[in-house]
Chains A and B, each alone.
Chain A
Amino acid sequence: MKSRTAHILLFAFFLLCAVFFLVESLAFDSTADGLSPGSYPFVLAIVFLFFLLLDAWESLSCPRESEGSDVSLTYPLLVVLIIGGFLSFVTYLGFYLSSTLIVFALYLLLEKKNVFRGFIFSGLWALSSYFVFGYVLRVPFPVFGGG
């Protein structure tokens, strides 16, 4: 993906946020003090939109600067998929099993050899995280089977 495409995506995200806050803030009725719950975010959204458009205008005026290098997505995208998968399945698989799998998957992504070492490493990770967070700090992680 070209850097410029990614920049446009980021601008579109900010623009969407600005419009969302702007439109939603208009839905609130004013209160006795004259400031509705939407007044402050409305002003912020207007200023946000103004500076966003100003910045975009300046970026367009000097296209060379904003082009930058290509965005290489191979690793980050794979990691995004792995973490997204972890967050989607953690409720069913439980925290310890899924965190072991995610650590193992990320290890394999970065280190293609030494699969056995990765297995040991992810197992040790699960054990230590269970001891510190589950046993000592009593954090109620999701457990296998959706509990």
Chain B
Amino acid sequence: MESVFSFASFAAGAEVLLSPYGFLLLLLGVVLGIVIGATPGLSPSMGVALLVPLSYGMEPAYAFAFFVAVYQAANYGGSLTAIVLNAPGTPSAVVTALDGYKMTSQGKGGEALGYAVFASAFGGLIGGIVLMLFAIPLAGFGLQFGPHEYFALALFGLSTVIGFSGEKWKKTFIAVLFGLLLATVGTDTFSGEERFTLGIFELFDGFSFIPVMIGLFALAEIFTRLEDKASGLSTDVPLLDAGLPSLRLLAKFKRTLLQSSLIGTLIGIIPGAGATIASFISYGQAKRLSKEQKSFGNGNPEGVVSSEAANSSSVGGALIPLLSLGIPGSATDAVLLGAISMHGLVAGPELFETDPDIVYGIFLSVIFANIAIFFFGFFGNRIWLRVVDVNESYLFPTIFALCLLGSFTIRNSLFDCWTCFLFGILGWLLRKFGYQAAPIVLGLVLGGMIETNLRRAFLMGEVIQFFTRPLCLFFLLGAAILFLSPVWSSWRGKKQAS
């Protein structure tokens, strides 16, 4: 495997980032990225897209260092509101909320934020190092994925939530199927026919998953807390000081950190797979290999670590096909590709030769941005924790208004506000009866990928290839094992009980 690392190019990239202007831009990018990621409704791609016009007058090398800092920090920012308010700022932070918010409810919010910032920075660094050393050799990995592999990978992603749902596997399965059905609403990409839209114009593009996610998590959480208040239960969230967990505690999760970072990087390389699948899969793997499987979803820090390390490292992974082949690995990369063209450049192997300062500037900004995230996160955590302490008569109206505002911002449509509102009510009812919101969001996110690639594979006519292509077979077998494991456990449990 040929490495493309070059010291001369490295020095050119370092010159960009170590200049006062470049360094300040990087820090500004990190701060903006954290705020964007933490704001429900503002995704990393939207954040970068909003900032692209600002780069017209900038040197490309500085502009891309800035964008990459925003991109990386926005991925981390999503975890802050997920942990503190159960309002994931980004879809990949949905997984972080599963254990992170539980930890906050148990008075371990500071610890959860500490784990999140450390895992994010560590995962991001791993992603950045892999990007710098193996960008071109690894680019081919993503290209091995055809419709069969994409279908199998998405199915594997879904199976992780079902496989580890324990006794509630039927409810989880129902939630996943509901998400998958919701994903079929809109215009069919193959025939152009409208499906299940009821003639509502806004549904022609399908449900936007951000308002659904905000509703199911943030609004549902507030409804639940209001219900507790009406029932006379305490709605106060206990607090502990923010800070990093001790090195001893962090060392306990070193295998999870490394494993999740590598999973995130590899999944990031696959165009279109993205941070959400990476988070779910690495969470599933961490749970599978953990000795404390039952505490996952109930405030296990390992859950936060696995999710954050994976979604952060997927950024570096997703930049590999973008820079090496000109193929965007995620929505944010597509925006970056547009920005590259806007600056008169062409992404691909040529860029490594013509503009090494830009390419290595990007590599180094991934690494530096993660170091900056660590420091900003470490000191900023104390501020974020104070949010939990804000009087609920200020906090709840602010969250409600922010949820509706964030939903509107997605497509400038009130329909998305209604979506958020109605899914908030649904999410509130769902959690009362033991259903989880995360499988619905995952079903909605992966639904399009599953259907499109399944139908593509059928169109290609070689259905047998599902079982003859090694990568596809690997993921399908993994998915089958995960799907069947809770059924098997449930059957065995009943047999033992009888």
Contact = CB atoms under 8 A, between A and B. Distances in A.
B174 A107 contact: no
Interface of B: 50, 170-171, 173-174, 177-178, 180-181, 184, 188, 190-191, 193, 195-196, 222-223, 226-227, 229-231, 391-394, 396-398, 400-401, 404-405, 408-409, 412, 414, 417-418, 421, 425-426, 428-430, 432-433, 451, 454-455, 458-459
Contacts of B401: 99, 102-103, 125, 129
A84 B174 contact: no
A62 interface: no
11 contacts: A31-B190, A33-B455, A36-B191, A51-B170, A51-B173, A51-B177, A75-B226, A76-B223, A106-B397, A129-B401, A142-B414
A10 B400 contact: no
> 8 shortest A-B CB distances, which residue pairs?
A111-B393, A106-B397, A75-B226, A110-B393, A37-B188, A48-B177, A72-B230, A75-B230
Contacts of B170: 51, 54-55, 58
A116 B250 CA distance: 48
A34 B458 contact: yes
Interface string A42-75: 0011011001101100100000001011011111
B386 to A, nearest CB: 17
- Of the listed residues A9, A40, A48, the one surrounded by the most CB atoms of chain B closer than 10 A to its CB is A40
Nearest to B233: A72
A110 B195 CA distance: 42
Contact of A44 (B171, B177, B404, B455): B177
Contacts of A6: 429, 432-433
A73 B174 CA distance: 26
Contacts of A93: none
A51 to B, nearest CB: 5
A99 B406 CA distance: 13
A144 interface: no
Interface in A93-147: 95, 99, 102-103, 106-107, 110-111, 118, 121-122, 125, 129, 133, 137, 139-142
B231 A72 contact: yes
B230 A76 contact: yes
Nearest to A78: B226
Contact of A107 (B180, B191, B222, B397): B397
B196 A41 contact: yes
A87 B417 contact: yes
- Number of contact residues on A: which range applies? 35 or more
B454 A10 contact: no
B227 A72 contact: yes
A3 B451 CA distance: 36
B430 A40 contact: no
B178 A17 contact: yes
B451 A48 contact: no
Nearest to B428: A76
Interface string A6-32: 110110011001001100110010010
A13 B222 CA distance: 22
A75 B405 contact: no
B286 to A, nearest CB: 27
A90 B417 CA distance: 11
Nearest to B180: A44
Contact of B226 (A79, A84, A90): A79
A13 B143 CA distance: 42
B414 A90 contact: yes
B359 to A, nearest CB: 30
Contacts of B421: 83-84, 87
Given A37-B193, A75-B229, A103-B398, A17 B174 contact: no
A48 B401 CA distance: 34
A52 B181 CA distance: 14
B393 A107 contact: yes
A21 B196 contact: yes
A2 to B, nearest CB: 12
Contacts of A103: 397-398, 400-401
Given A72-B230, A139-B409, A14 B178 contact: yes
B196 A40 contact: no
B430 A121 contact: no
Contacts of B173: 51
Contacts of A28: 191, 193, 195
A47 B414 contact: no
A141 B401 CA distance: 13
A9 B429 contact: yes
A102 B400 CA distance: 9
Contacts of A14: 174, 178
A129 B408 CA distance: 13
- Which of B174, B177, B191, B412 has most A Cβ within 10 Å? B177
A140 B408 CA distance: 9
Most chain A Cβ neighbours within 10 Å, of B170, B401, B417, B421? B401
